C-alpha cells in the first residue's frame, strides 16, 4: 500500500526523466544514504566496516565498471582483474612521485591509466565480437599480470615484488596505510563510490549510454543509425576500465594495504563477473546487489553453522560457497538473466499493484 | 519461498553476521589459524594446518591448556588469497587473537603494517619479509628460526662444502611471485663475493604444472647446481622435469617449502637423491609427537587423513609453529604474571623466546631443531638449517645444522629493513640496548 | 561531420528541391560474395519526395540493394550518388549522417531498451552535448535531452504508440515492433527512408495502419521513401514508381501500371524458366 | 642494433649451433601442443553440436582425473576406476543436458558461456568437497602407462623422448581417429554432423537434440578424462591445471571453433611456438613469456583472420 505511485503525476519531461521518478524510491535512497554515511560509521563494528562494507563497496565499483562494458555495451570481458591492477600500480607510482598531492585525487586520476589500457586492449573489438573478444581480454589479463611482476619499476624495485601502501593524510587524518581507521577509509570509499555511481547513472541515461546499449542490442542497426562502432566500443572500454582502475586503486590503498600480482589475477576477473551476472546485467542497482551477495554469502556460510553450533571445516564452507555461487549463476541465467536487480524490480511491481495483482497492464 | 521472504531471510542473516558473538576471550588463549585447505597450494597448507592445530589441541587434552588456561584454535580459510587473508584477520583480531601465522608471503605483507596498530604480533615462521629479522625496525614481526636470506646463504655454504662454489654456475628456479623473488638480492650479492654465476628461471604461478620450457632452458644453460624456491604443485613438477632432462638430483636443492612428503609422494623413486633444506625434525618418534598421536589423533580429534601423515615434513613444520607460539605464551605468562595474556604480552613472549636443547627435550622434542633464542634486535633466532635427501620413499637428514653467513646476511637484512621503513615516517621502531 | 552536412544541404538546395529532382541514383552497381553475384549491373534513381518500391521474388537482391545504399555492403563496381555527392565506399554511419535511415526485414530493434529509448536512439546523430555535461547531467545535457524527448513524443503520438512508451520492446507484439522501428527511423528525420518489408507478417488491419503512416510520412513530412514489399496490392497503392529485380538483375522500371503489364515481370513472378 | 641482432640473428645461430637441442625444444612443444589440442578438441565437440562454448572443459579435465585417482585411492583396481570414471562423466553429461542446456535452448551464446562458467564453479567446489583439494599423483603405473625414456643420438647430441609423452601422442592420435570414425561411420555420428550443420534439418530427420547434446558432452567428458590422465602423468592432478587449460581458448582462435583439424593444428602451433619463443627469445623479455604468448598470438591472429585457420569467412546479414 505504501509503495504506490498513484497521484504522482509528472508535469514535465524533466520530471519524467529524473533518475528516480517515484517519490518512495527517492525517500528510500535517501534513507540508505543516511544509514551509509551516518548510521554505519557511528554504530557498526570495525569488522563490519572493514571486512564487509569496504570490500563490498570496492567490488561494487569494479562491478559497475564491468557492467558498463558487459551489461550495457555487450562486450564480454575477462580482464577486469588486470585493469584493476593497472589502476592500483598507477596510483602507487603516482603517490611515489607526487607524495604531496592528495591521495584521493591520485586514486581518481589513476583510473585514467587503466582507461588507456582498456582502450588499447579494446581496439580488437572493432573486428572481433562476442566470445572471440572475451578471449582477447584474456590476453590483456595474462599480459598485464606478467607486466606487474616483470617490470620491477612498477613496484619500486621492492625485494618482495609487492607494493605497500604508504601512509597519506588528509587534514592530518591518516586515510591510507595501516594507521588509517576503518571508519575513515570507509567514509572516503563510500564518498567516491556514491559519486561515481551517480556519474555512471547520468552517463548511462544520456546519449552516450544509449549508444552503448544500441551497440549491445543490435550493432548493425546501431551503425546504420549513425553510431560509430569504434567510438562507442572504445568509449565503453575506456569508461569501464576507468571504474575498474579506480576500484583497483581503492582496493589496495583503502582496503588491503599491500598487493602483489596475485591480487589481480584472473580469479578476480571471474569474481567480478559473477557479481555482475548474479546482480543483473545492465543494471546499476544489480552491481551493488551482486557485490553484496557474492561478498557476504561466504561470510554468512561461515557464520551460520557456528550460530547453530555446527563445526564445519573452514575449507568445507569454501567449497560450499563455490557450489552455491555456481548453482546460482546457472539458476539466474535460466530463470532470470537480469539477476537480483530484476527480482527486486518484480518485487516492486508486485507491491505497486498490491492487493490487486491483476489491476495493471 | 517467495522473493520477499528470501530477501528478508538474507537480510536477517546479514544482520546476524554482524552480531556473531565477538567474545573477548576472558579465560582462554585465542590463537587463530589462517589456513588454506583449498586452492592451488592446499597440498602444503593442509598438513601444516593439521600439525598446528593438533599440537595446541594436544596441550589442551594433555595439560588442560597452558598453565591451566585453555587454548582456542580457530581456523579461517584464506585459500592463499590476500583479500581473504585480510578478511580472516579482521574477523578474528577482536576476539583476543594472540598472534598470526598466515603461511603466505602475500598475507604476511598485508599484516606486517597492521601488527603495531592492533598490537598483535605476526609470526611468519621462515617466510614473509626477510627484513623482519631486524627486530629494531620490526618490533611486531618475527621470522624464527631463519629468514629466506639466511637459508639461501646456508644452502650456498652446503654447495661450497661439496666440491666448491667458486667458478660454478648456480641455477635458481623460483615461483614468480613475491615469495620466489625474496632471496634474489642476496643471491646476486653473494654471487659476487663467492665468485659464482647465477641463471634465473622464473615459473609463473599459472604455469606451475607446465615447466618444460624452463627446464629446456636449464638444459641450455647447464648449471652445476640448481636451487628451487617452489611451493605447491610447482615442486613435484620441477623434480619430474629435472629427472627428465637428467639433471643430477643430488645437485638440486629445494628450500624448506620445496621439500615435503607431499611434494615427493607422487614422484617416488624418480625423485631419489633430491635435496631440500629443513629446520624441523622428521618423523613421529619424538615424545611430543607420540603425545599428539595418543591424545589427539587416536581420539579422533585431528583432521589428518591418515595416522602416518603425522611426522611428515609439513606436519612437523606446522607443529613447530605451534610449539613456538605455546612457548611464547608460557614466557609471556611468566613475565607478566598474568594467566590470560594479550597480543602485546605475546609479543614480549615471542621476543624472549629461548628454545635451548634442554628446553626442547623438556618439551618432548629433543634435537627437533637448532637452538632458537630471540632478542629485541634479533627476530630470526637461530638461522640454522639442515639438508635432507629423498631416498625414494622418505626423507633422510644428511647434514648437521648449517649456520647462515651472518656476517654477510645480517648487514643486508638491516639495510633492507632500513629501506622498508625509510618511506614510512610514522613507522613504529624500537631501540634495543 | 557538421560541416559536411551543411555543405550537402546547400548542394541539394542548389540542385533544386522540386519533386522531380534526383535524390539518389544508382549507376551500374554490381555486388558479389565469393563468386556469387547478388547484384549485377543495376542502375535506377529515386526522386525527391516520391515513394519508390523495389520488388522482386525471393533472392532477387532487394535487401542487398538496400544494404549497398546505406553503406553496409560495398559494391565491387558502380557508383552511388546521393544528394549530388558521388561515392563508392561509405561506412553505414556516414550514410546515416548524410540522411539515410532504414527499417529492417526482421525487426532490428534494440531489444533491451524501452519504446521511448528506441525512438530516442534515432536522435543520436542530432545530439552533440559533450561528455562532461553528460556526467553531471545538468545544463545543456539535460535541456538537450528534454528537447529531443519533445520531438520523440510527437512521433509517438503520430504513430499512436503512447501506451507502450515505457515498455521494453522485446515483449511487444510483432506489429507494434514494426511500428516502433518506423518511429525510430522517423526520429532520424531522414532525407531518404528505406523500408525493408514494412508490412511482412501483418494482418490486414495492421497493414492499413502502416500504409496510412507511410502515406502521411511522405505527404506531411515530405520524406522520400524507398520500400521493399511483397504485397502487390500495397505496392500498387503506395508507390509512385517501381523497380523490379530478379536474380540480381533489373528487369523492369516504371509506374505501377507499366510494371504490372511487363511480360518479364509476369514471367519472373510465375517462375518461367530462363 | 644489438637488439635487432638478439631478436633476429642470435636465436637462429643458437638453433643452428645445437640442432639436437632445437629438436628437443620442438618435441617438448609438440607434446604440450598435443595436450592443448586434446582440451581444445573437447571444446570443439561441444561447440559444433550445441553451439555452447564450454568454458568448463578445463575443469572437466581436472575433475575426471581426480575422480579416477580418488577411486583408486579408495581401493578400486585401476581399470575398474577408469570405467567408473567414464560412468561418472556420462552422468555429468546427462545432468548438464537435463538441468542446464535444456533450459537454456536458444539463448545468446554469451549467456551459455557464462552458464558453463557457473558449471566450472560447481565442479570445482564439489570436486574439492568430495575428493579434497590437495594435488594427487596420477596412477601411471597402475594404468599400465609407460615410464622411462629413450635417447636418440643425433647431430652430436641427444634428444630425450619420454615414453609417457610418446604414449600421450599415440593416445591423442587414436582419439582423433576414433572420433573421425565415430562421426563418419556411425548413425549417431552422422546425426551429430547433421545437428552441427542445421538444427532444424536434424529435427526433421527425427533426431532428439537432447540425446545429441548428452552424447557430445559425454564424448567431451571422455576426452577430458584422457587429457587428465596424460597431463596428470606428466605432473600431478591438481586444480592448478584449470588455468593452463584456458590456453585451449587461444588454440580455438587459431583453429576455429568448429574444426577438429583446426584444434589439432592450432594446439601444435601454440605448443611449439610458445616453447621456441620462451627458450630462444624469452630471456630478452625477462622470461615467463609463456604465460601470455598463446593469447597474444591469438589476438594478433584475430586481427588478420578472425575466422581462424580453417573457418569460413563470415558474411554478416541484416
In a domain, D318, yes or no: no
Q: What is the pLDDT of residues A274-318, one digit of tens each?
A: 888 888 888 888 899 889 888 888 778 777 776 776 666 767 877
In a domain, D277, yes or no: yes
Query: How confident is the prediction for chain C on average, in pLDDT?
Result: 80
Quote the CA–CA distance of C59 and C228 in Å, as a whole number. Answer: 12
Q: Do chains C and B touch (3 or more CB pairs under 8 A)?
A: no
pLDDT of C36 higher than 60 = yes
What Rg value do the Cα atoms of chain D yield, rounded?
21
Quote the CA–CA distance of B324 and B5 in Å, as a whole number. Answer: 50
How far is the alpha carbon of D48 from chain A, nearest alpha carbon, in Å?
A: 15
How far is the alpha carbon of A179 from chain C, nearest alpha carbon, in Å?
A: 34
Residue (of A214, A208, A176) closest to A192 by Cα position: A176
Confidence of residue C6 (pLDDT cuts 50, 70, 90): very low
C-alpha cell at A90: 598507477
C-alpha cell at A248: 583497483
For the domain spanning B24-146+283-383, the CATH number is 3.40.50.2300
Strand pairing class (A173-174; A169-170): antiparallel
Task: Give C-chain residues touching D318 at CB under 8 angstroms.
Answer: 63, 67, 72, 104-105, 108, 196
Sign of CA dihedral B332, B336, B339, B344: negative
Where are chain A's structural domains?
45-353
Cβ distance A206 to C146 less than 8 Å, yes or no, reads no
In a domain, D88, yes or no: yes
Task: Give C-chain residues touching A203 at CB under 8 angstroms.
Answer: 131, 134-135
Q: A8-22, B331-345, C117-131: which has the highest mean pLDDT?
A: B331-345
Report the topology of domain B148-278+387-407. Answer: Rossmann fold (3.40.50)
Cross-chain CB nearest to A160 (options B13, B79, B178): B178
Where are chain B's structural domains?
24-146+283-383, 148-278+387-407
Task: Give A-chain residues touching C191 at CB under 8 angstroms.
Answer: none
Q: What is the pLDDT of residues B23-56, one digit of tens each?
A: 444 688 899 999 888 777 888 888 999 999 999 9
Cβ distance A199 to C135 less than 8 Å, yes or no, reads yes
Task: Give D-chain residues touching C33 at CB under 8 angstroms.
Answer: 315
Q: What is the pLDDT of residues B105-156, one digit of tens each?
A: 888 888 888 888 889 999 998 888 888 888 888 989 998 888 888 889 999 9
ipTM (interface pTM): 0.84
Cβ distance A299 to B17 less than 8 Å, yes or no, reads yes
Instruction: Establish whether domains B24-146+283-383 and B148-278+387-407 are of one fold.
Output: yes
Residue (of D238, D199, D310, D255) closest to D43 by Cα position: D255
What Rg value do the Cα atoms of chain A yield, rounded?
21
Quote the CA–CA distance of B74 and B35 in Å, as a whole number. Answer: 10
Instruction: Tell me which of A18 and B348 has the higher pLDDT.
Output: B348
Confidence of residue A6 (pLDDT cuts 50, 70, 90): low
pLDDT of C125 higher than 60 = yes
The helix or strand, by DSSP H or E, that contains position A229, with its residue range, turns out to be helix A229-250
Confidence of residue B348 (pLDDT cuts 50, 70, 90): confident
The helix or strand, by DSSP H or E, that contains position C104, with its residue range, turns out to be none
- Greatest alpha-carbon pair distance for chain D in Å reads 67
Confidence of residue C116 (pLDDT cuts 50, 70, 90): confident
Q: Do chains A and B touch (3 or more CB pairs under 8 A)?
A: yes
List B198's β-bridge partners, or say none: B170
C-alpha cell at B383: 638461522
CATH code at position D192: 1.10.3470
D139, closest residue in chain B (CA to CA): B266
Question: Collapsing DSSP states into helix, strand and coil, what is residue A301?
Answer: helix
**Contact D192/B at CB under 8 A:** no
Q: What is the pLDDT of residues A159-205, one digit of tens each?
A: 777 888 887 877 777 877 777 788 888 999 999 999 999 899 888 88
List B173's β-bridge partners, or say none: B201, B228
Query: For residue C119, what are the CA distances in angstroms to A21, C130, C186, C188?
Result: 20, 21, 8, 9
Sign of CA dihedral A256, A257, A263, A269: positive
Query: For residue C83, what are the CA distances in angstroms to B270, C13, C79, C196?
Result: 81, 9, 13, 21
In a domain, D283, yes or no: yes
Under 8 Å between Cβ of B101 and B321: yes
> D60: Cβ–Cβ under 8 A, 6 or more apart, which residues?
D42, D89, D92, D123, D220, D221, D224
Query: Rounded to the nearest 5°, which phi and psi values hold at B197?
Result: -105, 155
Instruction: Give the per-residue pLDDT at A309.
Output: 67
In order, the DSSP letters of C110-166 are: -TTSBHHHHHHHTTGGG----HHHHHHT-THHHHHHHHHHHHHHHHHHHHT-GGGTT
User: Domain limits at D104?
Assistant: 2-304
How far is the alpha carbon of D159 from chain A, nearest alpha carbon, in Å?
A: 31
Cβ distance C105 to D315 less than 8 Å, yes or no, reads no
Report the topology of domain A45-353. Answer: ABC transporter involved in vitamin B12 uptake, BtuC (1.10.3470)
> A171: Cβ–Cβ under 8 A, 6 or more apart, which residues?
none
Candidate from A4-8, C61-65, D102-106 with smallest mean pLDDT: A4-8
Q: Buried b / exposed e across B274-286, counting CB within 10 Å, b at 16+?
A: bbbbbbbbbebeb
Residue (of C84, C48, C63) closest to C230 by Cα position: C63
> Degrees (nearest 5) of the Cα angle B139, B144, B150?
105
Quote the CA–CA distance of C63 and D48 in Å, as a whole number. Answer: 30
Query: Rounded to the nearest 5°, which phi and psi values hold at A255?
Result: -120, -70
Cβ distance C108 to D318 less than 8 Å, yes or no, reads yes
Q: Do chains A and C touch (3 or more CB pairs under 8 A)?
A: yes
Instruction: Give the per-residue pLDDT at B11.
Output: 53
How far is the alpha carbon of D105 from chain A, nearest alpha carbon, in Å?
A: 10
Under 8 Å between Cβ of C113 and C168: yes
Quote the CA–CA distance of A207 and A202 in Å, as a whole number. Answer: 10
Task: Give B-chain residues touching A149 at CB under 8 angstroms.
Answer: 176-177, 181
C-alpha cell at B327: 612457548
pLDDT of D204 higher than 80 = no
How far is the alpha carbon of D99 from chain C, nearest alpha carbon, in Å?
A: 26
pLDDT of D179 higher than 70 = yes
D17, closest residue in chain B (CA to CA): B220
Q: What is the pLDDT of residues D263-305, one digit of tens each?
A: 888 899 999 999 899 888 887 887 778 888 888 888 888 777 7
Task: Give C-chain residues touching D315 at CB under 8 angstroms.
Answer: 33
Domains in chain D, number:
1
Query: For residue B417, what are the CA distances in angstroms to B141, B388, C236, C245?
Result: 12, 31, 90, 83
**Contact D313/C at CB under 8 A:** yes
In a domain, D28, yes or no: yes
Quote the CA–CA distance of C72 and C104 in Å, as a whole number. Answer: 13
Residue of B77, B81, B206 best to disrupt the D interface, most CBs of D under 10 A: B206
Task: Give A-chain residues touching C184 at CB under 8 angstroms.
Answer: 225
Task: Give D-chain residues touching B207 at CB under 8 angstroms.
Answer: 244, 288, 290-291
Residue (of B384, B279, B377) closest to B321 by Cα position: B279
How far is the alpha carbon of B353 from chain D, nearest alpha carbon, in Å?
A: 34
**Contact D125/B at CB under 8 A:** no
In a domain, D8, yes or no: yes
How far is the alpha carbon of C262 from chain D, nearest alpha carbon, in Å?
A: 30
How far is the alpha carbon of B213 from chain D, nearest alpha carbon, in Å?
A: 6
In a domain, D189, yes or no: yes
Under 8 Å between Cβ of A87 and A103: no
Cβ distance A161 to B18 less than 8 Å, yes or no, reads no
Task: Give A-chain residues touching D291 at CB under 8 angstroms.
Answer: 142, 145-146
Quote the CA–CA distance of C274 and A295 in Å, as a whole number. Answer: 70
What interhelical angle do B343-351 and B313-336 show, nearest 10?
110
How far is the alpha carbon of C118 from chain D, nearest alpha carbon, in Å?
A: 18
Task: Give C-chain residues touching A208 at CB under 8 angstroms.
Answer: 131, 134
Cross-chain CB nearest to A146 (options D115, D126, D292): D292
Q: What is the pLDDT of residues B390-416, one digit of tens each?
A: 998 889 989 988 988 888 888 888 888
Neighbouring chains to A with at least 3 Cβ pairs closer than 8 Å: B, C, D
pLDDT of B22 higher than 50 = no
Strand pairing class (B225-229; B252-254): parallel
Question: Collapsing DSSP states into helix, strand and coil, what is residue B173?
Answer: strand
Task: Give A-chain residues touching D302 at CB under 8 angstroms.
Answer: 124, 127-128, 132, 135-136
> Degrees (nearest 5) of the Cα angle D279, D282, D288?
105
In order, the DSSP letters of A120-179 are: HHHGGGGT--HHHHHHHHHHHHHHHHHHHHH-GGGGTT-TTS-EEPPP-EETTEE-SSTT
In order, the DSSP letters of chain D are: -HHHIIIIIHHHHHHHH-HHHHHHHHHHHHHHHHHHHHHHHHHHHHHHHH----TTHHHHHHHHHHHHHHHHHTT--HHHHHHHHHHHHHHHHHHHIIIIIGGGTT--HHHHHHHHHHHHHHHHHHHHHHH-SS-B---TTTTT---SEEEEEETTEEEEEEHHHHHHHHHHHHHHHHHHHHHHHSHHHHHHHHHHH-HHHHHHTT--HHHHHHHHHHHHHHHHHHHHHHHHHHS-B-TTHHHHHTHHHHHHHHH-TT-HHHHHHHHHHHHHHHHHIIIIIGGGGTS-THHHHHHHHHHHHHHH-TT-SSPPPP----
Cβ distance C67 to D313 less than 8 Å, yes or no, reads no
Residue (of A303, A255, A319, A301) closest to B74 by Cα position: A303
Amino acid at each position: 500500500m505504501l509503495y504506490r505511485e498513484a497521484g504522482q503525476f509528472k508535469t514535465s519531461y524533466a520530471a519524467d526523466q529524473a533518475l528516480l521518478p517515484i517519490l518512495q524510491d527517492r525517500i528510500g535512497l535517501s534513507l540508505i544514504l543516511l544509514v551509509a554515511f551516518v548510521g554505519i560509521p557511528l554504530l557498526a563494528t570495525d569488522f563490519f566496516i572493514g571486512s564487509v562494507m569496504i570490500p563490498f563497496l570496492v567490488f561494487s565499483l569494479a562491478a559497475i565498471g564491468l557492467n558498463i562494458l558487459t551489461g550495457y555495451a555487450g562486450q564480454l570481458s575477462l580482464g577486469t582483474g588486470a585493469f584493476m591492477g593497472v589502476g592500483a600500480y598507477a596510483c602507487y607510482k603516482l603517490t611515489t612521485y607526487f607524495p604531496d598531492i592528495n591521495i584521493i585525487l591520485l586514486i581518481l586520476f589513476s583510473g585514467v591509466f587503466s582507461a588507456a589500457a582498456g582502450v588499447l586492449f579494446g581496439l580488437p573489438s572493432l573486428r572481433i565480437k562476442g566470445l572471440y573478444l572475451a578471449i582477447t581480454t584474456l590476453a590483456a589479463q595474462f599480459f598485464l599480470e606478467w607486466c606487474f611482476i616483470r617490470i620491477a619499476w612498477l613496484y619500486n624495485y621492492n625485494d618482495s615484488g609487492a607494493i605497500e601502501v604508504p601512509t597519506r593524510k588528509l587534514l592530518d587524518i591518516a586515510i591510507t596505510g595501516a594507521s588509517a581507521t576503518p571508519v575513515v577509509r570507509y567514509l572516503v570509499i563510500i564518498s567516491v563510490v556514491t559519486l561515481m555511481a551517480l556519474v555512471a547513472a547520468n552517463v548511462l541515461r544520456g546519449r552516450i549510454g544509449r549508444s552503448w546499449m544500441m551497440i549491445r542490442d543490435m550493432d548493425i542497426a546501431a551503425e546504420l543509425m549513425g553510431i560509430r562502432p569504434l567510438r562507442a566500443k572504445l568509449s565503453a572500454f575506456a569508461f569501464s576500465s576507468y571504474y575498474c582502475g579506480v576500484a583497483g586503486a581503492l582496493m589496495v590503498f583503502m582496503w588491503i594495504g599491500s598487493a602483489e600480482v596475485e591480487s589481480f589475477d584472473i580469479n578476480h576477473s571471474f569474481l567480478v563477473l559473477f557479481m555482475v551476472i548474479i546482480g543483473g546485467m545492465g543494471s546499476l542497482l544489480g552491481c551493488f546487489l551482486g557485490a553484496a551477495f557474492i561478498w557476504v554469502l561466504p561470510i554468512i556460510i561461515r557464520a551460520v553453522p557456528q550460530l547453530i553450533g555446527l563445526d564445519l571445516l573452514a575449507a568445507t564452507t569454501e567449497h560450499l560457497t563455490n557450489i552455491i555461487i555456481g548453482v546460482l549463476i546457472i539458476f539466474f541465467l535460466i530463470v532470470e538473466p537480469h539477476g537480483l536487480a530484476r527480482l527486486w524490480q518484480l518485487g516492486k511491481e508486485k507491491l505497486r499493484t498490491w492487493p490487486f495483482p491483476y489491476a495493471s497492464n | 519461498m517467495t522473493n520477499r521472504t528470501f530477501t528478508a531471510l538474507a537480510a536477517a542473516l546479514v544482520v546476524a553476521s554482524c552480531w556473531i558473538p565477538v567474545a573477548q576471550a576472558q579465560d582462554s588463549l585465542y590463537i587463530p589459524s589462517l589456513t588454506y585447505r583449498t586452492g592451488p597450494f592446499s597440498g602444503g597448507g593442509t598438513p601444516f594446518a593439521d600439525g598446528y592445530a593438533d599440537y595446541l589441541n594436544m596441550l589442551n587434552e594433555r595439560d588442560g591448556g597452558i598453565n591451566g588456561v585453555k587454548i582456542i584454535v580457530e581456523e579461517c580459510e584464506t585459500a592463499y588469497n590476500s583479500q581473504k587473508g585480510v578478511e580472516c584477520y579482521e574477523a578474528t583480531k577482536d576476539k583476543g587473537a594472540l598472534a598470526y601465522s598466515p603461511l603466505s608471503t602475500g598475507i604476511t605483507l598485508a599484516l606486517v603494517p597492521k601488527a603495531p596498530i592492533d598490537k598483535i604480533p605476526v609470526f611468519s615462521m621462515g617466510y614473509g619479509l626477510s627484513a623482519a629479522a631486524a627486530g629494531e625496525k620490526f618490533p611486531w614481526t618475527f621470522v624464527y628460526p631463519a629468514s629466506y636470506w639466511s637459508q639461501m646463504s646456508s644452502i650456498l655454504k652446503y654447495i661450497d662444502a661439496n666440491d666448491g662454489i667458486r667458478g660454478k654456475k648456480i641455477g635458481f628456479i623460483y615461483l614468480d611471485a613475491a615469495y620466489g623473488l625474496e632471496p634474489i638480492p642476496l643471491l646476486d650479492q653473494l654471487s659476487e663475493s663467492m665468485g659464482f654465476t647465477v641463471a634465473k628461471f622464473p615459473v609463473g604461478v599459472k604455469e606451475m604444472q607446465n615447466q618444460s620450457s624452463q627446464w629446456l632452458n636449464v638444459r641450455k644453460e647447464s648449471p652445476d647446481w640448481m636451487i628451487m624456491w617452489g611451493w605447491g604443485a610447482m615442486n613435484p613438477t620441477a623434480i619430474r622435469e629435472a629427472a627428465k632432462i637428467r639433471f643430477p638430483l643430488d645437485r638440486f636443492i629445494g628450500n624448506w617449502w620445496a621439500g615435503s612428503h607431499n611434494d615427493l609422494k607422487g614422484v617416488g623413486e624418480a625423485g631419489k637423491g633430491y635435496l631440500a633444506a629443513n629446520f624441523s625434525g622428521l618423523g613421529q618418534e619424538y615424545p611430543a609427537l607420540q603425545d599428539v598421536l595418543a591424545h589427539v589423533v587416536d581420539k579422533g580429534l585431528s583432521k589428518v587423513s591418515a595416522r602416518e601423515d603425522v611426522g611428515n615434513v609439513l606436519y612437523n613444520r606446522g607443529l613447530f609453529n605451534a610449539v613456538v607460539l605455546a612457548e611464547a605464551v608460557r614466557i609471556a605468562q611468566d613475565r607478566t604474571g598474568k594467566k590470560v595474556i594479550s597480543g602485546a604480552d605475546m609479543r614480549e613472549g615471542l621476543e624472549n623466546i629461548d628454545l635451548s636443547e634442554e628446553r626442547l627435550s623438556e618439551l618432548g622434542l629433543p634435537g627437533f631443531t637448532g637452538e632458537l633464542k630471540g632478542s629485541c634486535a634479533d627476530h630470526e633466532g637461530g638461522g640454522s638449517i639442515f639438508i635432507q635427501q629423498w631416498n625414494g620413499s622418505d626423507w633422510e637428514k644428511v647434514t648437521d645444522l648449517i649456520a647462515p653467513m651472518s656476517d654477510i646476511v645480517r648487514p643486508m637484512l638491516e639495510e633492507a629493513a632500513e629501506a622498508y621503513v625509510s618511506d614510512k615516517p610514522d613507522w613504529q621502531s624500537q631501540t634495543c640496548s | 561531420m557538421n560541416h559536411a552536412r551543411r555543405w550537402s544541404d546547400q548542394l541539394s538546395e542548389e540542385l533544386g528541391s522540386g519533386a522531380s529532382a534526383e535524390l539518389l541514383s544508382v549507376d551500374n552497381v554490381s555486388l558479389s560474395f565469393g563468386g556469387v553475384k547478388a547484384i549485377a549491373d543495376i542502375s535506377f534513381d529515386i526522386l525527391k519526395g516520391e515513394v519508390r518500391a523495389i520488388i522482386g521474388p525471393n533472392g532477387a537482391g532487394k535487401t542487398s540493394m538496400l544494404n549497398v545504399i546505406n553503406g553496409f555492403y560495398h559494391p565491387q563496381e558502380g557508383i552511388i550518388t546521393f544528394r549530388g555527392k558521388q561515392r563508392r565506399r561509405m561506412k553505414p554511419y556516414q550514410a546515416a549522417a548524410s540522411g539515410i535511415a532504414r527499417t529492417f526485414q526482421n525487426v532490428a530493434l534494440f531489444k533491451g531498451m524501452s519504446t521511448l529509448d528506441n525512438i530516442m536512439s534515432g536522435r543520436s546523430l542530432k545530439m552533440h552535448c559533450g561528455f562532461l555535461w553528460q556526467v553531471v547531467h545538468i545544463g545543456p545535457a539535460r535541456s538537450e535531452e528534454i528537447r529531443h524527448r519533445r520531438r520523440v513524443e510527437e512521433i509517438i503520438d503520430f504513430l499512436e504508440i503512447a501506451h507502450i512508451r515505457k515498455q521494453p520492446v522485446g515483449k511487444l507484439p510483432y506489429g507494434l515492433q514494426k511500428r516502433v522501428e518506423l518511429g525510430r527511423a522517423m526520429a532520424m528525420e531522414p532525407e531518404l527512408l528505406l523500408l525493408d518489408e514494412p508490412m511482412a507478417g501483418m494482418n490486414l488491419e495492421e497493414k492499413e495502419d502502416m500504409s496510412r503512416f507511410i502515406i502521411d510520412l511522405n505527404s506531411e513530412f515530405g520524406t522520400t521513401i524507398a520500400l521493399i514489399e511483397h504485397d502487390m496490392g500495397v505496392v500498387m497503392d503506395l508507390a509512385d514508381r517501381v523497380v523490379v529485380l530478379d536474380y540480381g538483375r533489373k528487369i523492369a522500371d516504371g509506374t505501377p501500371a507499366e510494371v504490372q503489364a511487363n511480360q518479364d515481370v509476369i514471367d519472373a513472378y510465375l517462375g518461367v524458366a530462363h | 642494433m644489438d637488439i635487432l641482432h638478439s631478436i633476429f640473428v642470435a636465436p637462429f645461430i643458437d638453433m643452428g649451433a645445437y640442432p639436437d637441442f632445437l629438436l628437443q625444444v620442438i618435441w617438448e612443444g609438440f607434446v604440450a601442443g598435443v595436450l592443448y589440442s586434446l582440451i581444445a578438441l573437447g571444446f570443439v565437440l561441444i561447440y559444433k553440436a550445441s553451439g555452447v562454448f564450454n568454458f568448463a572443459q578445463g575443469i572437466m579435465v581436472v575433475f575426471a582425473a581426480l575422480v579416477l585417482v580418488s577411486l583408486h585411492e579408495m581401493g578400486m583396481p585401476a581399470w575398474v576406476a577408469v570405467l567408473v570414471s567414464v560412468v561418472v562423466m556420462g552422468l555429468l553429461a546427462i545432468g548438464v543436458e537435463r538441468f542446464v542446456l535444456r533450459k537454456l535452448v536458444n539463448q545468446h551464446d554469451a549467456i551459455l558461456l557464462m552458464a558453463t562458467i557457473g558449471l566450472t564453479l560447481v565442479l570445482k567446489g564439489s570436486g574439492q568437497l568430495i575428493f579434497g583439494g590437495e594435488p594427487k599423483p596420477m596412477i601411471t603405473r597402475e594404468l599400465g602407462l609407460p615410464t622411462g625414456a629413450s635417447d636418440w643420438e643425433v647431430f652430436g647430441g641427444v634428444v630425450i623422448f619420454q615414453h609417457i609423452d610418446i604414449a600421450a601422442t599415440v593416445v591423442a592420435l587414436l582419439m582423433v581417429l576414433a572420433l573421425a570414425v565415430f562421426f563418419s561411420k556411425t548413425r549417431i555420428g552422422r546425426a551429430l554432423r547433421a545437428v552441427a550443420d542445421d538444427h532444424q534439418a536434424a529435427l526433421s530427420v527425427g533426431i532428439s537434440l537432447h540425446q545429441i547434446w548428452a552424447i557430445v558432452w559425454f564424448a567431451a567428458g571422455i576426452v577430458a578424462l584422457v587429457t587428465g590422465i596424460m597431463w596428470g602423468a606428466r605432473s600431478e592432478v591438481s586444480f592448478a591445471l584449470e588455468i593452463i587449460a584456458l590456453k585451449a581458448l587461444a588454440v580455438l582462435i587459431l583453429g576455429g571453433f568448429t574444426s577438429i583439424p583446426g584444434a589439432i593444428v592450432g594446439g601444435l602451433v601454440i605448443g611449439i611456438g610458445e616453447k621456441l619463443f620462451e627458450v630462444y627469445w624469452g630471456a630478452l623479455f625477462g622470461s615467463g613469456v609463456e604465460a601470455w604468448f598463446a593469447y597474444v598470438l591469438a589476438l594478433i591472429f584475430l586481427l588478420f583472420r578472425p575466422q581462424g585457420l580453417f573457418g569460413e569467412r563470415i558474411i554478416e546479414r541484416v
